[in-house]
Structure 1
Amino acid sequence: MNDDYEEDFVGCGTWDQMTAWLADSLPEIPVGVTIDFGPRDFAVDEDSLTDDFDEPLDAVCAQIVALEHGRLLVRRSHVVMEASSFVHHDASAATPNHWFTEDPTSDCTDGAIYVDDPALAADICVTWLATESGEPTPADFGFDLSEAEHLPGISASGGQWTIDDFLRRLGH
């Protein structure tokens, strides 16, 4: 997954533990952070994402994007998804708890949903990975975080969150 954190893996023994860990962690994740879940041993480098592929890279993946006001965007796919860059992170006008099957980025093959409940977001994400992979535990899954960057000359608001905070929640 991420070269800087090669040992990033879900680290939970059961799918239920992963759901609980994720539900507890999501409220603390700052706006703009994207969490990508996929096969632990599946390495995708920047060059392979920018190459012109006739076919997308197959893998059961899920993605959660932290939006403003506690809203979360959960995306599900059978292909590798890129971290999305949105114009803004205010999705208050979006309809929550409604599946969207259309995808403007074409890398989200199995729909997306906006949710306001971290437990529901975690359940959607983990259930997708468990069901579609057929794996008995999440041991073969890893994650990658894309942290939001602050614009130059504008001070960061809120607490200073780091990937280490997220990893501590896993016991790393």
Structure 2
Amino acid sequence: MPDRTARAALGLAAVLLSTLTACGLDAPDPVSGLKDDLRHVPRKTAPATRPHLVKQCSAEDVRVGHSSTTGSRGHRRTRTWYTTEHRRTCHDVRQGTESYTKEIRPERWCVRLDDVNGDRGQDDVWFRVDHGDYTEALIARYHTRLRLDSATRTVYC
């Protein structure tokens, strides 16, 4: 039996999944059709720079006054005393630049199908798929019926 942490994680995942499903973000429906064309768009990156931020802290001692009052009316007496408090403030300071790889275009795999879901009027429809479905379509022969589980319809690829 899973321990308490694992059960809590499973419960959280179930709640998250049901919430996403209620919002209409469920998994795409499978699509079938005849293989027409394939397209792989590689990931495009470029070197870029951004400010390098360093946390800089400063400490200071501040003299703070305190007071307390005792008594009432004419016998009122106020006592005042001072203490020194140590305060530390931190903020990010720019210190040069750092290099990183910026993603300009993500990697995409696309399959073009004819006779989508058996409708002969739907030809040359592009679908964006995951790598597994793309590999399956890659090894299939031209105009072979395919079932794509991860297909998302797209205008271009």
Q: How would you bin the TM-score normalised by the shorter chain?
A: under 0.3
Higher strand share: 2
Q: Tell me the TM-score normalised to structure 1 length.
A: 0.22
Rg larger in structure = 2
Q: Tell me the TM-score normalised to structure 2 length.
A: 0.23
Higher helix share: 1
